[in-house]
Amino acid sequence: MPSITTEDLFQQKIDSEIKIEPKDWMPEAYRKTNVRQISQHAHSEIVGMLPEGNWISRAPSLKRKAILLAKVQDEAGHGLYLYCAAETLGMSREEMINDLHSGKAKYSSIFNYPTLTWADMGAIGWLVDGAAILNQVMLCRTSYGPYARAMVRICKEESFHQRQGFESLLILSRGTPEQKAMCQDAINRWWWPSLMMFGPKDSESTNSDQSMKWKIKRKTNDELRQNFVDMCVEQIKILGMKLPDPSLKWNEKTGHYDFGEIDWNEFWNVVKGNGPCNKQRLDARKKAWNEGEWVRKAAAAYAEKKTGKQKAA
Amino acid sequence: MNFIRKYYYGDIPEDKAGEMSEASKELTKTDWPLWEIFIRSKQGLDHKHAGSLHAADAQMAIENARDVYTRRMEGVSIWVVESRYIHASNPEEAGSLYEPANDKVYRHPTFYDLPDEVNHM
């Protein structure tokens, strides 16, 4: 009989739905995959503040401004929960920030698209946050404990993001002809990039899938994307708008909506840094980091001085 | 271990991520210390671990904890402890550490069979 390895024991834990905690033994590849995924998820939250930050000072009313501010503040919080979860795996915050700034670590490509009109705030809430929520609800049951706990916290807060977006579009969809046109235009521009958020097609890889086996992920990209399409087709009826895909059609056999082919060239192009706003987003992050340096130093110096005084006393 | 994986949202692999725009910087190890945050959600309840965050000192840790963990009135009191002061049991020793409790079923009320006439004991 072959002896049981630590790796087998680890898999047994995963199979019986026991969460993995920071100090537990884990395969190096499990650690690495989690560090990469969690840190990139954190970066997405942080960079995701930028396209919306653009509209805080341009919001059409005080109410909308307060809502947008609260949403952006949530995103900063979500980034922090996730950075901390990644840090439990042994990567320092500084390393993660460096990797983001150097281009080594990625963030969701959706944030490399520009926000051209106010309606984009609604479309982002409805579509982009809607797509993210599907992914995040699944991740609440991910096998790494700190990641799962961060996701539970995030999901509790995220639903307001999607609802405020849909409500905002609903108001535009019942407005003047110009407002209606603006609403449709935003949906047209955000629909396809939102579908790309779920990542490449499952058929890109025919081999066994380690992330599913380790229960880091529990649904495939295509499954989540299909859920999303089915959901949106129903919701857009309430808006009285159209999704920009002539191939959208109910499929009696599968019980799902068929949809058109995604432009994968565009997807990989944006991932590789050639999207409309990649440079602008990274530059904004680096600028914020560099201009905050004196604050970080001053706070550290102040803390040090205070400890010195306590010791002397 | 070798395996091929799929590429997931939020998980863009290094080999498909294009060129790095600049070399990674040397680390300067200037991260503020890490703090563990405990929140009392309601008067009368225990403080419960909520998560962690970085801050230069305790005062800042409390202020940051308010912004990060109590944006929706989740707390009425915050404790912060620098993470390096937390001592933890070793998961590898869990077996022997908790073994003494394994064979003491008589510590549970359900161990005792009493006649039905004895209500609510």
Q: CA–CA separation, A177 vs A183, rounded Å?
A: 10
DSSP class of A200: S
Q: Round to whole Å and give the CA distance between A285 and A190.
A: 23
Please indicate if any CB of chain B lies within 8 Å of the CB of A208.
Answer: yes
Residue A36: closest CA among A76, A109, A89 = A89
Cα A27 from Cα A15, distance rounded (Å): 15
Q: Does A24 touch chain B (CB under 8 A)?
A: yes
| Averaged confidence pLDDT in chain A | 94
Set out the domains of chain B in order of their start, with CATH numbers.
26-107 (3.10.20.520)
Average pLDDT in the A150-156 region?
95
Tens-place pLDDT, residues A226-263: 999 999 999 999 999 999 999 999 999 999 999 999 99
Q: Compare CB distances from B4 to A99, A102, A207 and report the shortest one's residue.
A: A207
3-class secondary-structure state, position A144:
strand
Instruction: Tell whether ipTM is more than 0.90.
Output: no
Check if B62 contacts A (Cβ < 8 Å).
no
What does DSSP say about strands B47-54 and B34-40: parallel, antiparallel, or unpaired? antiparallel
Q: What 8-state DSSP symbol labels residue B42? A: S
A129, with CB counted inside 10 A (0-12, 13-18, 19+), is: buried
pLDDT, residue A206, reads: 45
Q: How confident is the model at residue B15 (pLDDT cuts 50, 70, 90)?
A: low
pLDDT at B12 over 80: no
Separation between Cα atoms, residue A68 and residue A66, nearest integer Å: 6
Contacts of B10 in chain A (CB under 8 A): 37, 40-41, 44, 108, 135
Contacts of B28 in chain A (CB under 8 A): 94
What single DSSP character describes residue A113?
Answer: S
Quick one: pLDDT band at residue B94, thresholds 50, 70, 90? Answer: confident
From residue A292, alpha-carbon distances to A44, A50, A279, A296, B37 in Å are: 20, 16, 20, 6, 24
User: Confidence band (pLDDT; 50, 70, 90) for A65?
Assistant: very high
| 8 Å CB contact of B30 and A303 | no
B32 at A interface, C-beta within 8 A:
yes
Task: Judge whether B16 is closer than 8 Å to chain A, CB to CB.
Answer: yes
Mean pLDDT of B17-43: 76
Residues in chain A within 8 Å Cβ distance of B7 = 199-200, 204-205, 221
Across the interface, of B28, B53, B88, the residue whose CB is closest to A80 is B53
Q: What is the pLDDT of residue B14?
A: 55
Q: What percent of chain A has pLDDT above 70?
A: 98
pLDDT, residue A205, reads 61
CA distance A18 to A26: 13
How high does pLDDT run on average in chain B? Answer: 83
